[in-house]
């Protein structure tokens, strides 16, 4: 009787472990600058549409790793000064076996024209004033 109980418990535990591991994947990769190809440190990688927040940040080599990620979730890659990128692992962009590379594009903005001038031309003052305006 005791042997049957132990065998039954082992079978139940095995099925529970298999049920919990199905539909998830490990995702690893590297985040780089799109133009220069240099690794980006501190990129926030988050999984959307989950009840519990899941995410990580890239290391000094731009590398990251996430475990037990549901296959149908979106991943968002974001870093200040760069345009955010969203990917779905099920879309075929991400392979479970190979590390992949995400390229983030710099979102630096350029202005058409910048005017710099002194407001007070005829008066003497201790400090000069500078006005920045976009025309």
Check which CATH number belongs to the domain holding 29 and give it: 2.60.40.1120
Q: Write down the pLDDT at residue 64.
A: 94
Residue 16 lies in a domain: no
Q: Is residue 77 part of a domain?
A: yes
Residue 44: exposure state from Cβ atoms within 10 A (0-12, 13-18, ≥19):
middle
In a domain, 63, yes or no: yes
What is the average pLDDT value for the chain, to the nearest integer? Answer: 76
Per-residue pLDDT tens digits for 61-105: 999 998 888 777 889 999 999 999 998 866 665 555 567 899 999
Token code pair at residue 107: 């979102």
Specify the number of domains making up the chain. Answer: 1
Burial class (CB in 10 A: 0-12, 13-18, 19+), 28: middle
**Residue 82, pLDDT score:** 95
Task: Supply the range of the domain harboring residue 95.
Answer: 24-104
For residue 74, give the nearest of 108, 50, 104 by alpha carbon: 50
Read off the pLDDT of each residue in 15-24 and give the average, rounded to a whole number. 56
* CA torsion, ordered 91, 95, 96, 99, to nearest 10 deg: -140
Is 67 inside any structural domain?
Answer: yes
Overall pTM > 0.75: no
Between CA 97 and CA 27 the distance in angstroms is 8
């Amino acid at each position: 009787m005791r042997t049957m109980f132990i065998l039954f418990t082992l079978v139940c535990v095995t099925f529970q472990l298999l049920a919990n591991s199905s539909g998830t994947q490990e995702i690893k990769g590297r985040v780089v600058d799109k133009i220069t190809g240099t690794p980006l440190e501190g990129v926030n990688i988050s999984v959307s549409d989950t009840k519990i927040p899941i995410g990580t940040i890239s290391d000094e080599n731009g590398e990251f790793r996430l475990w037990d990620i549901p296959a149908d979730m979106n991943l968002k890659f974001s870093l200040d000064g760069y345009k955010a990128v969203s990917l779905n692992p099920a879309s075929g962009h991400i392979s479970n076996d190979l590390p992949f590379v995400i390229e983030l594009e710099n979102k630096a903005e350029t202005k058409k024209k910048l005017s710099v001038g002194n407001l007070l031309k005829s008066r003497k003052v201790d400090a000069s004033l500078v006005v920045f305006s976009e025309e």
